[in-house]
Chains A and B, each alone.
Chain A
Amino acid sequence: MLVVESLVKRFGGFTAVNNVSFKVEKGEILGLIGPNGSGKSTIFNMLSGTFPPSAGSILFEGGELAGLPPHKIINRGIGRTFQIPRPFRRLSIFENVALAGYYGQGSHSRSKADESAERALAAVGLPVERNASVDGLGAAGLKKLELAKALATEPKLLLADESLGGLDEHEMDQAADMLRRIRDDLGITIIWVEHIMGVLMRVVDRVMVLDHGEKIAEGLPTAVVNDPRVIEVYLGTDAHATQAVAAAAAR
């Protein structure tokens, strides 16, 4: 579905992403992990068109995405959420989502947008009521809204950026289950960037690990957490942490 070839991003003299290649199969959930500054968000920003890659190609269903502006990429069927929720506070919850449905699908049909908004809000478990204000939402609610906005664009591939930061354990589990349901029920392929490894390992089909802009491991969660390089760069040499993650993955 998505084929990324030798992706490079340089900011001045700094190489944020260096020669990263990977594939995403239709219907899978790919986890993307790595320490801060490892290039995860930079890859996301290139996939979603926030900025163009310095080199390399991004093929989505056979079409080149590198260099396209964000709205065109979204119209091709790639939705994204932001690490920190970015709601439009002057619009109601419903308007936030309907807006994404209207412009994100590229069809510019108001009735279709309203339908998608209703479906997306129901999928994440937010009220479908028309005038509910964004100000009433807490951290978990804002993350759901962020997800609903992305879903309303009717994506085939969803880029979920660190969806769980700032949630408690119960909310985290719920959110992870929601991503799985989105894949299972709506058939949406997902790339999930996340800091919190335990929850991620439980849900994803495959994991890719980045460090200093380079891919250092890729494979099944169980295999990756036992990879010595991953343990070194991501977890340090703390044996307890390693065991904790391995236990989480086995769960």
Chain B
Amino acid sequence: MNPRHLAYWIAAAVLVGLPVVYNQPYHLHVMVLILIWSFAYTSWSVMGRFGLVSLGHGGFMGVGAYVTALLWNHFGLTPWVGIPVALVCAGLLALIVAYPCFRFRITGHYFALVTLALSGIVLQVITATRNQTGGSLGYTPERTKGNAIAALQFVDKETWYLIALGVWALGIAIWYWIDRSMIRYAMEAISEDEDAAAAAGINVTLEKLKITVLSAVMTALAGALYCQYQMFISPDTVSGISVSLQMVFAAVVGGIYVAFGPTVGAVITILLAEGLRIGFGTKAVGWDNLVYGVLLVVFIIFLPKGILGSLLARMKPSGKH
């Protein structure tokens, strides 16, 4: 076993064992949030790293959260079934939006604009169907009186920490799997030159769709998880343009070309949001978005590889990106 693998195993053991030795509830809560959002940001970067800049991922997250909660409240459908249904819905939504874009070569800024509209539409639909979804006041899955496992509702933070850790690790694993598969080469080629990629035999539309649907489904899972953990969702926290922008910001700041970049981004954004909330209370509502906006511009200009990406590139000068 080489030292790198050993380090990974030790890090994994420390992360899994952490709640046994340290379980201060607020700190665990922040860790769970970081893990869930890290997974969401990683999901975004799965396609974002190939130049497919989506500003619609808030929409997919909203679908994941709301479909799961609505099925539970209205039909008593356990999240174990509800979440897969929600993931399928998000995947279909991604197909419906992305297929025409890719088929008719809507790329770059125009693709970003189309997806931006998606964020807005999902938010509007949730708000408009307020009789079912609670509208902008938010929505709460009903507390179960029966089996906690069947309802995927747990009171203790330790359980949630382990679930979030597992899902986050799954996200990292998917990231690595793509990084090593032929899909990565195909997507790099497509992002550089679609015609040349097609001349190499790549079905450009299909490859882009695959990565987009994967990314959307993963993001929806993050939304469902967030819903089950927080037991409260509102259009502003799981859908909409600000959530989408937050994903872009965090992924870019952390680094979209490295596996743990979005995770670093999540640590920074969530500590920033929590810090502002504790330091300034309600006076600072929305400040984090302002800071995000300014930092995003600064990062795109001066540190396009993100914090982690730049650090790793400096440590290893022969790095590819």
Q: Which residues of A contact B (CB under 8 A)?
A: 48-50, 69-71, 74-75, 80, 82, 86-91, 95, 98-100, 102-106, 108, 110, 113, 149-150, 153
Contact at A91–B188, with CB atoms within 8 Å?
Answer: yes
- Which residues of chain A are within 8 angstroms of B182 by Cβ–Cβ distance? 99, 102-103, 108, 110, 113
Contact at B186–A99, with CB atoms within 8 Å?
Answer: yes
Query: Is B6 part of the contact surface with A, judged by Cβ < 8 Å?
Result: no
Query: Is B23 part of the contact surface with A, judged by Cβ < 8 Å?
Result: no
Chain B, residues 184-208, CB within 8 Å of chain A (1/0): the string is 0110110011011111111110000
Contact at B185–A70, with CB atoms within 8 Å?
Answer: no
**A82-B196 in contact given A91-B189, A102-B182 (Cβ < 8 Å):** yes
- Which residues of chain A are within 8 angstroms of B204 by Cβ–Cβ distance? 71
**B84 smallest CB distance to A (angstroms):** 28
Contact at B198–A95, with CB atoms within 8 Å?
Answer: no
Q: Which of A98, A103, A106, A153 has the most CB of B within 10 A?
A: A103
**A103-B200 in contact given A86-B193, A88-B193 (Cβ < 8 Å):** yes
Question: Can you add 20 more A-B contacts, CB < 8 Å, to A69-B203, A71-B203?
Answer: A70-B195, A71-B202, A71-B204, A74-B199, A74-B200, A75-B201, A82-B196, A82-B199, A86-B196, A86-B199, A87-B196, A88-B188, A98-B185, A99-B186, A99-B200, A100-B200, A102-B182, A102-B185, A103-B186, A150-B199
Contact at A88–B192, with CB atoms within 8 Å?
Answer: yes
**A9 smallest CB distance to B (angstroms):** 17
- Which residues of chain A are within 8 angstroms of B202 by Cβ–Cβ distance? 71, 99, 103
Contact at A105–B201, with CB atoms within 8 Å?
Answer: yes
**B136 smallest CB distance to A (angstroms):** 43
**Can you offer 5 A-B residue contacts whose CB atoms are under 8 A?**
A82-B199, A88-B189, A90-B192, A102-B201, A153-B200
Interface size class of B (residues with CB under 8 A): 10 to 19
Q: CB within 8 Å of A: which of B204-225? A: 204
Contact at B188–A70, with CB atoms within 8 Å?
Answer: no
- Which residues of chain B are within 8 angstroms of A103 by Cβ–Cβ distance? 182, 186, 200-203
How far apart sit A136 and B201, CA to CA, in the bound complex (Å)? Answer: 25
**A100-B192 in contact given A95-B185, A110-B182 (Cβ < 8 Å):** no
- Which residues of chain A are within 8 angstroms of B189 by Cβ–Cβ distance? 88, 91, 99
How far apart sit A102 and B197, CA to CA, in the bound complex (Å)? Answer: 12
List 4 tightest A-B contacts by C-beta distance, closest first. A104-B201, A86-B196, A103-B201, A100-B200
- Which residues of chain B are within 8 angstroms of A104 by Cβ–Cβ distance? 200-201
- Which residues of chain B are within 8 angstroms of A95 by Cβ–Cβ distance? 185
Give B189's nearest chain A residue, CB to CB.
A88
- Which residues of chain A are within 8 angstroms of B320 by Cβ–Cβ distance? 90
- Which residues of chain B are within 8 angstroms of A71 by Cβ–Cβ distance? 198, 201-204
**B30 smallest CB distance to A (angstroms):** 37
Contact at B199–A48, with CB atoms within 8 Å?
Answer: yes
- Which residues of chain B are within 8 angstroms of A69 by Cβ–Cβ distance? 198, 203
Contact at B200–A149, with CB atoms within 8 Å?
Answer: yes
How far apart sit A106 and B203, CA to CA, in the bound complex (Å)? Answer: 10
- Which residues of chain A are within 8 angstroms of B203 by Cβ–Cβ distance? 69, 71, 103
Choice from B185, B186, B192, B199 contacting A80 with Cβ under 8 Å:
B199
How far apart sit A98 and B189, CA to CA, in the bound complex (Å)? Answer: 12
- Which residues of chain B are within 8 angstroms of A49 by Cβ–Cβ distance? 198
How far apart sit A71 and B193, CA to CA, in the bound complex (Å)? Answer: 14
**B305 smallest CB distance to A (angstroms):** 13
Contact at B201–A100, with CB atoms within 8 Å?
Answer: yes
How far apart sit A87 and B192, CA to CA, in the bound complex (Å)? Answer: 9
- Which residues of chain B are within 8 angstroms of A105 by Cβ–Cβ distance? 201
How far apart sit A113 and B321, CA to CA, in the bound complex (Å)? Answer: 24
- Which residues of chain A are within 8 angstroms of B196 by Cβ–Cβ distance? 82, 86-88
Q: CB within 8 Å of A: which of B265-321? A: 320-321
- Which residues of chain B are within 8 angstroms of A87 by Cβ–Cβ distance? 196
Give A109's nearest chain B residue, CB to CB.
B182
- Which residues of chain A are within 8 angstroms of B321 by Cβ–Cβ distance? 90
Give B192's nearest chain A residue, CB to CB.
A88
- Which residues of chain A are within 8 angstroms of B199 by Cβ–Cβ distance? 48, 70, 74, 80, 82, 86, 149-150
Contact at B195–A50, with CB atoms within 8 Å?
Answer: yes
How far apart sit A80 and B201, CA to CA, in the bound complex (Å)? Answer: 10
- Which residues of chain B are within 8 angstroms of A113 by Cβ–Cβ distance? 182
Give B181's nearest chain A residue, CB to CB.
A110
How far apart sit A75 and B206, CA to CA, in the bound complex (Å)? Answer: 15
How far apart sit A102 and B202, CA to CA, in the bound complex (Å)? Answer: 9
**A52 smallest CB distance to B (angstroms):** 14
How far apart sit A150 and B193, CA to CA, in the bound complex (Å)? Answer: 16
How far apart sit A86 and B192, CA to CA, in the bound complex (Å)? Answer: 9
- Which residues of chain B are within 8 angstroms of A110 by Cβ–Cβ distance? 182
How far apart sit A80 and B321, CA to CA, in the bound complex (Å)? Answer: 29
- Which residues of chain B are within 8 angstroms of A150 by Cβ–Cβ distance? 199
- Which residues of chain A are within 8 angstroms of B197 by Cβ–Cβ distance? 88
- Which residues of chain B are within 8 angstroms of A102 by Cβ–Cβ distance? 182, 185, 201
How far apart sit A174 and B180, CA to CA, in the bound complex (Å)? Answer: 37
